[in-house]
Structure 1
Amino acid sequence: MNHLLAVAVNERLNEAFEGPRGVGSMFTDPNTAILETLEQLSSEEASMSFHGTTVAAHADHTRFYLWGTNKVLKKGKQPDMDWGESWRITSVNETQWNRIQDGLKNEYFTLMKNIDSVDWNTQTINEALGSLAHSAYHLGAIRQMVKSVKDSQ
Structure 2
Amino acid sequence: MKQATNQVKVPVFAEAVAYVLRESFDGSPPGEGSVYLDPGVGFFDTLGGVDATTASRLHHGSTITAHTAHAKFYLDRLCEFMEGRTEKVDWEDSWLIETVNEEEWAALQTTLRTSYEDTMRCFARIDDWTDDRVGMAIGMVAHTAYHLGAIRQMTKAGDTAKEANG
Alignment TM-score, normalising by the size of structure 1: 0.93
Q: Which residue of 1 aligns with 2:114?
A: 106
The counterpart of 1:53, out of the listed 48, 58, 62, is 62
1:89 positional shift:
2.3
Q: Residue 111 and residue 79 in structure 1: after superposition, are their counterparts in 2 closer, same or farther (change >3 A)?
A: farther
Q: Residue 56 and residue 142 in structure 1: after superposition, are their counterparts in 2 closer, same or farther (change >3 A)?
A: same
Distance in 2 (alpha carbons) for counterparts of 1:133 and 1:5: 15
**Who wins on radius of gyration, i.e. which is larger?**
2
Where structure 2 has 5 or more consecutive residues not aligned to the other structure, the ranges are 1-8
Q: Residue 77 and residue 71 in structure 1: after superposition, are their counterparts in 2 closer, same or farther (change >3 A)?
A: same
Q: Which residue of 2 aligns with 1:132?
A: 141
Contact 2:34–2:40 under 8 Å retained in 1: no
Contact 1:48–1:54 under 8 Å retained in 2: yes
Q: Does 1:145 align with 2:154?
A: yes
- Root mean square deviation, CA, Å: 1.4
1:80 positional shift:
3.1
Q: Note the alpha carbon deviations across 1:99-122, whole angstroms, 9 max, x for none.
A: 211111111011111111212111
Report SS of the residue matched to 1:152: helix
Q: Note the alpha carbon deviations across 1:50-100, whole angstroms, 9 max, x for none.
A: 0110000000000000001110122x2344322112112231001111121
Q: Note the alpha carbon deviations across 1:13-55, whole angstroms, 9 max, x for none.
A: 0111111112431115344211110111110110110011000
Alignment of 1:72-111 (within 5 A): 72-74=81-83, 76-111=84-119
Residue range with higher mean Cα deviation, 15-24 or 106-115 = 15-24
Distance in 2 (alpha carbons) for counterparts of 1:49 and 1:77: 34
**Which AA in structure 1 matches 2:130?**
N
Identity %: 37
Report SS of the residue matched to 1:142: helix
What count of residue pairs does the alignment treat as equivalent? 152
Contact 1:16–1:28 under 8 Å retained in 2: no
